């Protein structure tokens, strides 16, 4: 369930980072808005196009229910080292002062394989990185916390 203050309706152009766009009808798709306020990026969450990404600053064609203020939680039991294991699309990695999502390339020429989920985190020391295969998007805190969606990059889409 969502409270009325947790959602609006509109297009990707109006969604802020760490919002989800939920479909209203069968031809709409689910997406996560990530990146920054100045350069938001939509990441498709539907199977078939999962983890494909595209710019969404002026995108008025993707519409749906916008759930804002989602938070990322990682599963410590799914930890891995990105230095020794390839991060599949759908994995999240904590590096430097950010948490990034490994995405599928948008095109053959695309070399941007990561989209920022959170920035300005306390910096990790000595260039350390840690990855997580499982993570979830949640709303609320404490007894009001609700899991919106769970992701597992170890499962093939």
- Rounded Cα–Cα distance for residues 49 and 44 (Å): 6
Per-residue pLDDT of the chain (157 residues; tens, 9 = 90+): 888 889 999 999 999 999 999 999 888 889 999 999 999 999 999 878 889 999 999 999 999 999 999 999 999 999 999 989 889 999 999 999 999 999 987 666 666 689 999 999 999 988 889 999 999 999 999 998 999 999 999 876 5
The residue among 16, 38, 67 that closes a domain is: 67
Range of the domain at 37: 4-67
The residue among 67, 99, 117 that closes a domain is: 67
Cα–Cα–Cα angle for 116, 150, 22, rounded to 5 degrees: 75
**Whether residues 61 and 93 fall in one domain:** no
pTM: 0.90
The residue among 67, 85, 103 that closes a domain is: 67
Which residue shows structure tokens 């009325």? Answer: 4
**Whether residues 46 and 83 fall in one domain:** no
**Whether residues 148 and 129 fall in one domain:** yes
Residue 157 lies in a domain: no
Other Cβ atoms within 10 Å of 80 Cβ, number: 18
**Whether residues 50 and 79 fall in one domain:** no
pLDDT of residue 121: 94
Which residue shows structure tokens 């969450």? Answer: 45
pLDDT of residue 108: 66
Backbone φ and ψ for 5, nearest 5 degrees, come out as -80, -10
Which residue shows structure tokens 């599949």? Answer: 88
């Amino acid at each position: 369930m969502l409270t009325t203050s947790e959602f609006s309706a509109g297009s990707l152009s109006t969604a802020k980072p760490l919002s989800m766009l939920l479909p209203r009808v069968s031809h709409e798709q689910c997406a996560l808005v990530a990146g920054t306020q100045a350069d938001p990026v939509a990441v498709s969450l539907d199977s078939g196009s999962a983890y494909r990404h595209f710019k969404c600053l002026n995108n008025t064609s993707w519409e749906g229910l916008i759930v804002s203020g989602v938070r990322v939680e990682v599963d410590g039991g799914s930890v891995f080292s990105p230095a020794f294991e390839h991060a599949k699309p759908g994995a999240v990695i904590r590096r430097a002062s950010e948490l990034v999502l490994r995405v599928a390339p948008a095109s053959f020429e695309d070399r941007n394989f990561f989209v920022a989920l959170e920035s300005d985190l306390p910096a990790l020391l000595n260039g350390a990185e840690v990855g997580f295969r499982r993570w979830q998007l949640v709303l609320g805190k404490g007894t009001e916390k609700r899991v919106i969606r769970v992701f597992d990059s170890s499962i093939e889409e």
